[in-house]
Structure 1
Amino acid sequence: MSSTSAPGAAAFLKAIELRRSVYTINDKIPVPDEKIVEIVEAAIKHGPSSFNSQSSRAVVLFGDEHKFVWDTVLAVLKPIVPEAEFPKTVGKVNGCFKAGHGTVLFWEDNAVVKGMQDMFPLYQDRFPPWSQHASAMVQFITWTALANEGISASLQHYNPLIDEKLREHFKLPDTWALVAQMPFGTATAPAGEKTFKPLEDRVKVFGK
Structure 2
Amino acid sequence: MSAAFIEAIKERRSIYTLTSESTIPDDKIVEIVSEAVKHTPSSFNAQSSRAVVLFGDEHKKVWQLVLDTLKPIVPADQWGATEGKVNGCFAAGHGTVLFFEDSVPVKKLQDAFPIYADNFPGWSQHSSAILQFIIWTALAKEGLGATLQHYNPLITQQVLSTWGLPDTWSLVAQMPFGKPSAPAGAKEFSPVEERVKVFGK
Q: TM-score, normalised by structure 1?
A: 0.96
Greater than 4 Å deviation, 4+ residue runs: none
Instruction: Provide the residue aligned with 1:83 in structure 2.
Output: 76
Give the counterpart of 1:64 among 33, 57, 60. 57
Q: For the residues of structure 1 that align with 2:71 and 2:78, how far apart are their CA atoms?
A: 10
In the TM superposition, residue 84 of structure 1 has moved relative to its aligned partner by 1.4
Instruction: Provide the residue aligned with 2:44 in structure 1.
Output: 51
Which amino acid in structure 2 is aligned with residue 155 of structure 1? L
- Unmatched runs of 5 consecutive residues or more in structure 1: 1-7
Q: For the residues of structure 2 that align with 1:199 and 1:29, how far apart are their CA atoms?
A: 35
Give the counterpart of 2:191 among 194, 198, 208. 198
Q: Secondary structure at the match of 1:84?
A: helix
Instruction: Provide the residue aligned with 1:107 in structure 2.
Output: 100
Aligned-pair identity (%):
65
Q: TM-score, normalised by structure 2?
A: 0.99
- Unmatched runs of 5 consecutive residues or more in structure 2: none
In the TM superposition, residue 115 of structure 1 has moved relative to its aligned partner by 1.1
Bigger drift between 178-187 and 82-91 goes to 82-91
Instruction: Provide the residue aligned with 1:21 in structure 2.
Output: 14
Instruction: Provide the residue aligned with 2:159 in structure 1.
Output: 166
Number of residues of Structure 1 aligned to a counterpart in Structure 2: 201
Instruction: Provide the residue aligned with 2:26 in structure 1.
Output: 33
In the TM superposition, residue 42 of structure 1 has moved relative to its aligned partner by 1.0
In the TM superposition, residue 194 of structure 1 has moved relative to its aligned partner by 0.7
Instruction: Provide the residue aligned with 2:171 in structure 1.
Output: 178
